Structure formats: structure tokens, C-alpha cells
Amino acid sequence: MKAFHEVRSYDSDFMVWHSSYENVGFLAHWHREIELIYIRSGSCTLHITDHAFTAHAGDLAICESGVIHYCDSHGMDNSMDFLIFDPSIVSPLFQNPGFIHPLVPAELLGQYGLAEMLPLLMDTISRELTQKAPYYKEVVSSSLQTFWSLLKRNHPRVGADQLPDGRRERMLDDLQDLLEYIDVHYAENISLEYAAGRMNFSASHFSKTFKKLMGINYVTYLNLVRVEQAAYLLRHTEKKFTDIALNCGFNNIRTFNRVFKEITGCTPSEFLLLPDPDTYKRTYYNRRSAEKEFVEHDSLTLVKNASS
């Protein structure tokens, strides 16, 4: 199970996915697909690789292939469209265009002639993917290709003389490798020092870099992965709490109970009594939806805002 390296499942070999949400954020993750985030209303704070910014109604955020990104909507009301698609949809030999900044404000979209096209794009793709009328794939593909081409034509991109240092690219690749390692080996003793060593960083430099790119510190991230797996085992197996704690990397039941409550807002025992395991008093994962927001075995990246 890939919790934070998002490996998305699709209904078919046509790799395009769209959904809309209100008042959500998402945990730091990355994927090979391109992701467009359209802010219909309200605002949210987004972090995309080295860029941190607040996006407002009418803005577009671009997550290029392979970049780490997360969103914090705590205390903000918003409505957002998420459009995720395989890069081959827009180009058979796709290469990241290297936009200088991932945020395209509403004002710039207007100057590019894309302000009205963007919500129409989202609505068209949502309708076509739902109805699957004849030639829907062609309609979706051509709509995406037109919008993407105009975006590349207008939005500033990094020139050949401004390409990022190769060391930075290698560092991001190493971080992605570490996230994949954690997804598999979360039950083991993956200390901060061990994680730093995998990236050839000192412990202090690794801590600062990880927090900057992921939005949370390393230990919190590791605990999120472990608690996510523990929650699954609690709901779907008959294992004892102690066994689940040990299987998920916690040294003892006391630590397991404390960390589980810190993250989910309830103890493991209370968690089992919830009629809907997605209903928490604080932020946690949005696991499933009657509207099929995520298909089975999809990544768990969306989080709900704390309710008052």
C-alpha cells in the first residue's frame, strides 16, 4: 500500500481522474501524473516543492510530474476541483515544462484567455468521465491538450540557462525513494539518523529539509504512516491491539495508544466504536466515499478539516 507515494487506480486504461471537494487539505505526497488544482471559492495554503503560497478563488495551482505537494486548509473555507492525468495524455514524449511558479492567479488566467476555459474544462471532464458517452476519451484528451498547450504558451517557464541544479533534482529523487522505503518498512526501526543517512545528510540538515518539503517533521510523518496502517488493521482484522502496535512499528501499547489518539483524536478502542471511521474531531484521512471519490486501493491523501 502506497500511502504517500500516490499510485492511483483508474476505472480503465484511460488515466484521467477528476473530483471536487469542500474544505479539505491533503498530506504531502507525490505521483507521476500531472495535477491541476482549481480554487472555485475560498482559499487554501499550498506547498509545491520549494514554493509556499495562498491560493484564492479563481486561481490555478499546477503540480508537475514527480513534485512533492501538500495543502493546509485549516481555518479556511474552500471548494476545489482536482484534475489528475497521465502526462502521455498531453504529449506522447512528455517532459515537465518547468513552470517558474506553480501558481497561476486568476488575473493571469484572464490575461492568458484561460479564465473562462478552466471551469469549463473541469465541468466537461467531470461530465464526460461520468457519462462515458461515445468518444468521451477523445473529448477529454482534446480538451486537456488544448488547455495545456495554451498554458505552456503563456505561463513563464524556466529557460535552459535557469534549469535547477542537478544536485537538487537528485535530492528530490532520494527523498521520493525514502518515502517509498517508509511505505514498505514502516514497522521497522527507521530512525531519523537512518533516514538522514539514506539521503547522505546530517541529521540536523535532514530534519530542516524534510520539514520544508513535507510540511511536517520526520517523526510525525512516520507516525502518520504507521497509524494509517494500524487503523486499517483495526477495522479489517481480529488482531489484538498489542499485535497491531508491534506490527506497525510501535514498541509498546502505551506509545501506540498515545500516538494513535494524537493523530486521530480518539483511542484505538474508541476508533472501533465509530459508525464511520472517517468522522473524527480533528484532521485525518478521508478513506472512502459513496460518491467514489477514491476507488478501491487508492492512495490516502485527502484530509478533513477540524470541525468546530
pLDDT digit string, tens, across residues 27-86:
777 788 899 999 999 999 998 987 889 999 999 999 998 888 888 777 788 899 999 999
Identify which of 168, 121, 302 has the alpha carbon closest to the alpha carbon of residue 228: 302
Instruction: Reduce the DSSP state of residue 141 to 3 states and report it.
Output: helix
Q: Is it the case that residue 221 has pLDDT exceeding 50?
A: yes
Residues of the chain with CATH 1.10.10.60: 166-274
Pairing state between β 34-48 and 69-72:
antiparallel
Residues of the chain with CATH 2.60.120.280: 16-160
pLDDT digit string, tens, across residues 147-177:
999 999 999 987 644 445 566 677 777 887 8
pTM for the full model?
Answer: 0.69
Residue 89 DSSP code: G
* 211-244: burial string, b at 16+ Cβ within 10 Å, e else: eebbbeebeebbbbbbbbbbbbbbeeeeeebeeb
Regarding the domain with residue range 16-160, which homologous superfamily does it belong to in the CATH classification? Regulatory protein AraC (2.60.120.280)
Residues 6+ away with beta carbon under 8 Å from 272 = 234, 235
Identify the bridge partners of residue 43 per DSSP, sorted by sequence position.
Answer: 56
290: confidence class by pLDDT, cuts 50, 70, 90: very low
Instruction: Indicate the angle between helix axes 218-236 and 203-214, nearest 10 degrees.
Output: 60
> Rounded CA gap, 170 and 198, in Å?
12
Q: What is the pLDDT of residue 166?
A: 62
Specify which of 151-165, 224-238, 240-254 reaches the highest per-range mean pLDDT.
Answer: 240-254
> Rounded CA gap, 134 and 280, in Å?
42
Is the C-alpha dihedral spanning 218, 223, 226, 231 positive or negative?
negative
> Rounded CA gap, 101 and 156, in Å?
8
> Rounded CA gap, 86 and 67, in Å?
14
CA 217 vs CA 68, 75, 183, 252, 256: distances in Å:
15, 21, 16, 22, 18
Which CATH number is correct for 166-274, 3.30.9.10, 3.40.50.150, 3.40.50.300, 1.10.10.60? 1.10.10.60
